[in-house]
Structure 1
Amino acid sequence: MLENPRAPRVRAIARLAGKNVRSETGNFLLEGPQSVGEALTWRPELIVELFGTPTAVERYPHIMARAEDNDIEVEFVTEDVLDSMADTVTPQGFIAVCRQFPTSIRDIFAGSPKLVAVLEEVRDPGNLGTIIRAADSAGADAVVLSGRAVDLYNPKVVRATTGSLFHLPVAVGATLSDVLVRARGAGLRTVAADVKGGSLLEFRDSGALTEPTAWVFGNEARGLEDEDLERVDDIVAVPIFGRAESLNLATAASVCLYESAFAQRG
């Protein structure tokens, strides 16, 4: 059992909270039974190391069972050691070190996707993680990060996905112009969500959302640049019926993705 919170190995794992260390090692932190359980179920080959407290192992026997099924050893640690490794205040008993696994843009659009979320320079970790989770829930085929987006493997992003990171492919490092070209080449209609657009309700009623669609969402503060809006096929806005000034990006993205999911499923 690991008992020393100041041990070099513990400190090395804790440093994965920093982007530079994640880039150097190609690894990232995974915290909590929900996310660890999803990784064990869907992508166990990505797990490099898995740690748990005796209390957590007793409380979540299915984690141990999945680890054993995949020949992954769970190394016992004290609560103090787990706290020192974690980025959160309450890591809930489990931490894993995983390999990063971004998907290439080429592979995403070679797979004949029907619904893709494209995020241009999204900077807030909570927004990114929530949109990935919403895209997964809506049955989207992939998420693409373009421009200077927040790091996909930022601990706050990973936590906000609640395991959806392991359910659908996510591509990083693309330019929006390249993404739009590839989307059209794969037969997708490119639709930007922006306050300058027409009504989402009218767009839905036109039947356009039954087509394969790449939704494009812009930066939280600036939205999409005018030149980017000129590149897409359509621009639509989520209507606000109450007194709110605007919608949070993740909320608006969830609405748009589900409108496509409803339309495509008839």
Structure 2
Amino acid sequence: MDPLTERTPRVVSAVKLLRTAERRKAGRFLAEGENSVAEALETATVHEVFVTAAAADRYPGLLDAAHRRRVRVSLVTDRAAERLSDTVTPPGVVAVCDLLDVPLDRALSAQARLLAVPVAVGEPGNAGTVIRVADAVGADGVILAGDSVDPHNGKCVRSSAGSVFHLPVARERDTDRVLGALADAGLQVLATAADGEVNLDDADELLAAPTAWLFGNEAHGLDPQIAARADHRVRIPIRGRAESLNLATAAAICLYASARVQHRVHGPIT
């Protein structure tokens, strides 16, 4: 059978999923690359896998996994794979999956002890990295608050290294609603701030409580009005000459600090 081309209707429909509006309309997104496709086949609803001949030879295990789950596998031309990709060097394997994000209340289960809440995060690579860090430390979920990037953005999915498939990710544009829901769920809210009144090094007692961490965006940090509504503002001590830390690094430090204390006091988070 000849491979599908960039003009094949199924490929044309899948290419549209590179746009946020089309993803929401169709209820589907693209997961690209060996890692993402493998995790999608393991945990998500996958409708089709597109693969080039070269990628089929390179990733036979992925095709076996798709066949075991009775997912349609379609051979495509290199040109079609380029259209399906938003990377400079397409990996040649793409899965069409159902959207993963969950309603806010599902990310706020009664057992939630640690949440990451990036606010107005526009860089998909940073959003994906925060999701990956949250997964690594055993957090219960991630809430993308305010005008944040779509977690199904291709770069976000790739940057999460498969973690977007592992834990609940919610997206809520109404930051006031997010803050209210966190309080209703009994979570203390901590905000990162360069001039925070709490030093992270001295915060172990504070970190033992169920916590939601607010992280600001890449360019401007956390809005002061939002930071003021947190229960505490926490600063990460910088002992060298670096002026500041980027979003993903700050999130990694704070989430790890919370997970370390909670694991010691209460046992494993997961």
**TM-score (structure 2 length as normaliser):** 0.91
Q: Structure 2: how far apart are the matches of 1:154 and 1:144?
A: 15
Shift of 1:2: 2.4
CA deviation string 1:43-91 (max 9, x = no partner): 2xx2121111233223222212221221112111222221222111222
Deviations 1:227-266 (A, max 9, x none): 2122111110111121111111011001100111111111
Tell me, what secondary structure is at the counterpart of 2:194? Answer: strand
Measured after TM superposition, the shift of residue 112 of structure 1 is 1.8
Secondary structure in 1 aligned to 2:243? coil
Alignment of 1:38-77 (within 5 A): 38-43=39-44, 46-77=45-76
Deviations 1:94-118 (A, max 9, x none): 1111121321111222342010001
Question: In structure 2, what is the Cα distance between the partners aligned to 1:231 and 1:200?
Answer: 18
Task: Identify the residue that residue 267 of structure 2 maps to in structure 1.
Answer: none
Contact 1:2 1:81 in 2 (8 A): no
Q: CA deviation at 1:170?
A: 0.6
2:218 counterpart letter in structure 1 = E
The 8 Å contact of residues 109 and 186 in structure 1, kept in 2 or not, is answered as yes
Q: Indicate the residue corresponding to 2:118 in structure 1.
A: 119
Query: Which residue of 2 is the match for residue 203 of structure 1?
Result: 203
Q: Which residue of 2 aligns with 1:89?
A: 88
The CA deviation string for residues 140-177 of structure 1, in whole angstroms up to 9 with x for no partner, is: 10000111111221111111111111000011124222
Q: Which residue of 2 aligns with 1:25?
A: 26
Root-mean-square deviation (CA, aligned residues, Å) is: 1.6
AA matched with 2:74: E
Supply the distance in 2 between the matched residues of 1:52 and 1:188 (Cα, whole angstroms).
44
Identity value in percent: 43
Rounded to whole Å, the distance in 2 between the matches of 1:55 and 1:260 is 44
Which residue of structure 1 lines up, in the alignment, with residue 238 of structure 2?
A: 240
Contact map agreement 1:14 1:87 (CA 8 A) in 2: no
Partner of residue 164, structure 1:
163
The answer for the alignment partner of 2:182 in structure 1 is 183
List alignment gaps of at least 5 residues for structure 2: 265-270
Partners in 1 of 2:10 and 2:108 — Cα distance? 40
Give the length in aligned residue pairs.
Answer: 262
Letter in 1 for 2:83: S
Q: Structure 1 regions of 5+ residues with no counterpart?
A: none
1:141 matched residue in structure 2? 140
Mapped contact 1:121–1:147 kept (Cα < 8 A): yes
Distance 1:91 1:163 in 2: 17
1:109 is matched with 108
- Answer yes or no: is the 8 Å Cα contact 1:129–1:161 preserved in 2: yes
Q: Following TM superposition, by how much is the alpha carbon of 1:15 offset from its aligned partner in structure 2, in angstroms?
A: 2.4
Q: Distance in 2 between matches of 1:7 and 1:69?
A: 25
Aligned match of 2:127: 128
Say whether 1:151 aligns with 2:118.
Answer: no
Look up the match of 1:218. 216
Please list the CA deviations of residues 167-205 of structure 1 after superposition, one character each: whole Å capped at 9, or x if unmatched: 00011124222222222222211100111203211123x
Instruction: Tell me how far 1:10 sits from its aligned partner.
Output: 2.6
Q: TM-score, normalised by structure 1?
A: 0.92
SS of 1:96 mapped into structure 2:
strand
